[in-house]
Structure 1
Amino acid sequence: MQARSISHTARLASCARVRPSFSSPRSARSASRMAAAATSDWAKQDERRMLHAVYRVGDMDASIKFYKDCLGMKLLRFRDIPDEKYSNAFVGYGPETTNFAMELTYNYGKDSYDIGEGFGHFGIAAPDVAKLVESVKAKGGKVSREAGPVKGGKTVIAFVDDPTGYKFELIQREGEITEPLAQVMLRVGDLDRSIKFYTEVMGMQLIRTRDNPENKYTLAFLGYGPEESNTVFELTYNYGKDSYSKGDAYAQVAISTNDVYKTGDQVKAAGGNVLRDPGPVPGIGTKILAITDPDGYKIVFVDNEDFLKELEEKE
């Protein structure tokens, strides 16, 4: 009855005041679904590529020598930052504009690191693993597993250790190898959870899985393209193991994106954990976004245009 005593003009004014702050549960859910769909589409539209792995080494000169002499990589670029007391070396098999690279970090005065349990290895594809192993030995490198078939399979592999203790799996592959830096292997506590994160939040493809009940582990390979021509994540789940120590050696993987701000919105909408909101890095200007996966591994999205400018400035 009180509503009938309000004049028509007053009712219109009241509606005008209330409407901006009012939304029904149904309209709110609809808007939320539309926003989620839009951000999910961005993960599919974005042009993403794995750029480099960042990790710390105890002896920069010895590390560079090992990668060049034993593994056949090239020193792509080097930068020393005396004010911050660290140096970076980028090594790999091809230009950073097209290929994955290893970003080695040396912190002044720090000669050893705890690699921890979580980081497993980096993978390198080679046409003849046995031959490469003999070359590594001849040049003073450490071989921790001789060439031979992988357990439960036929692929020939071997393991070598770099001067800091990082393991490299040498994987035999036939045909043309356009990207020798094949894998970054990390151990995870819940494989289904990790696959969901890397596909829905990171926008990667699940390439294949392999279960090995005899040795009680399962592998999942994920990336932005076929593993024959792209670096991929190899996630390893060991039966009954749900967490791993991280140590202070392995740092992160960097991934390109055409828009860190859109990627930030997409990550948040998909439930990802953001460590650093999108924006330029002080003193450099390159825009980045830092997130963590469900096991706490750090991933940094780097603005692709800014990254290419960085490379041009170093030439």
Structure 2
Amino acid sequence: MATTDPSKYKFNHTMLRIKDPKKTLAFYELLGMSQVNKFEFPDNKFDLYFLAYDSPKAASHANHWTDREGIIELTHNYGTETDDNYKPHNGNKSPQGFGHVCISVDNIQAACKRISDAGYKFQKKLEDGRMRHIAFALDPDEYWVEIIAQNPVDKTENVHETDTQTYRMNHTMIRVKDKDASIAFYQDILGMQLKRTSENESAGFNLYFLGYGPPADGSSANGVNPSATKEGLLELTWNYGTEKQEGKVYHDGNAEPQGFGHICVSVDDLDAACARLEEKKVNWKKRLTDGRMKNVAFVLDPDGYWIEVIQNEKYKQGSKY
């Protein structure tokens, strides 16, 4: 009987719906990402673009797209680029749910200047507010893209040099109602490890960073974030007291208004992994046996966010990869 080892799982991608692929691809390419796969579905009138860091300096250089972490999947439904009424929901305006994706960079001043010089807007510039070590850029659909530093923030403000080949797609943030339920789900059900906790009692919220791979060594690369050079982290934002609210608190991005779609985990053995999930009594959105697509499944986390489960081709029997 086939078995599955959650330590081999990867937080493969985060899916966002977009209006105009040309504009959005240009933005993420400016950030150093490149297209590592594309699926076209003309009969269903949508395309999927998979973007990742793939330079020789990248964490997953030349890996098969299923054997990576930190991919951004862009979903384009034909015709939205010419529809004046279409605008994806960024998850930060009401109703809230998904928060942002995050890119870690070598020189945050230079990186932010480069983005600004290219004509893109910011939700928060480095100099705004008290937190001078992070910024939030806006992509063409106004999704928030957090920019964090991999290295100590340069007090001399050398804004001239940055190497996009060293960037990482560090994490994806979603808001959760009940931290204990969500942490237990991602640890016990999906096999992630809690890598880092950031408690912000004065502001009434905590951040929990989970992911796969070896445990964080606890050292801090930039004086603030010990996991800034990693890819494939999931940030759970818990606002104090939401666990006491009745019913669903956060928007999953798939009900209207649509924007964020899902996160995706690639696994060593898809059938065995889904059998394990069945034993764990997960809430299914789509089992492997449902519908025409027999190579993907979707489970629901405690807040109703969709989690796609796919086969990592590296582990597929007979794979040439």
TM (norm. structure 1) is 0.76
Aligned-partner residue type, residue 191 of structure 2: G
Query: 2:272 maps to which residue?
Result: 262
Residues 103, 81 of structure 1: CA spacing in aligned structure 2 closer, same or farther, 3 A cutoff? same
2:251 aligned with 1:245, yes or no?
yes
Contact 1:260 1:279 in 2 (8 A): no
Q: How does 1:107-256 map to 2 (within 5 A)?
A: 107-110=77-80, 111-116=86-91, 117-148=96-127, 156-174=133-151, 180-225=168-213, 226=216, 227=227, 228-242=229-243, 243-246=249-252, 247-256=257-266
Shift of 1:305: 2.5
Aligned equivalent of 2:33, options 73, 79, 87: 73
Aligned equivalent of 2:10, options 49, 57, 60: 49
Higher relative contact order (CA 8 A, sep 6+): 2
Contact 1:113 1:248 in 2 (8 A): yes
The worse-fitting range, judged by mean Cα deviation, of 94-103 and 46-55 is: 94-103
Contact 1:55 1:105 in 2 (8 A): yes
2:292 aligned with 1:304, yes or no?
no
C-alpha separation in 2, matches of 1:289 and 1:80: 19
Shift of 1:63: 0.4
Cα RMSD for the two superposed structures: 3.1
Shift of 1:294: 0.2
Q: In the comparison of the two structures, how many residue pairs are matched?
A: 268
3-state SS of 2:187 partner: helix
Contact 1:125 1:181 in 2 (8 A): yes
C-alpha separation in 1, matches of 2:167 and 2:300: 26
Shift of 1:290: 1.1
Query: 2:45 maps to which residue?
Result: 85
Q: Which runs of 5+ in 2 are unaligned?
A: 55-61, 81-85, 153-162, 217-226, 244-248
Shift of 1:268: 2.7
Name which one, 1 or 2, has greater alpha-carbon Rg: 1
TM (norm. structure 2) is 0.75
C-alpha separation in 1, matches of 2:320 and 2:129: 41
C-alpha separation in 2, matches of 1:260 and 1:185: 25
Q: Deviations over 1:109-134 (max 9, x none)?
A: 23422233100000110111111111
Query: 1:24 maps to which residue?
Result: none
Contact 1:150 1:156 in 2 (8 A): no
C-alpha separation in 1, matches of 2:50 and 2:315: 14
Contact 1:43 1:202 in 2 (8 A): no
Residues 212, 87 of structure 1: CA spacing in aligned structure 2 closer, same or farther, 3 A cutoff? same
C-alpha separation in 1, matches of 2:69 and 2:124: 27
C-alpha separation in 2, matches of 1:178 and 1:100: 13
C-alpha separation in 2, matches of 1:262 and 1:178: 35
Contact 1:149 1:156 in 2 (8 A): no
Aligned equivalent of 2:25, options 64, 76, 87: 64
Contact 2:106 2:167 in 1 (8 A): no
Contact 1:194 1:293 in 2 (8 A): yes
The worse-fitting range, judged by mean Cα deviation, of 107-116 and 292-301 is: 107-116
Q: How does 1:11-50 map to 2 (within 5 A)?
A: 42-44=4-6, 47-50=8-11
Residues 181, 64 of structure 1: CA spacing in aligned structure 2 closer, same or farther, 3 A cutoff? same
C-alpha separation in 2, matches of 1:196 and 1:275: 19
C-alpha separation in 2, matches of 1:49 and 1:260: 13
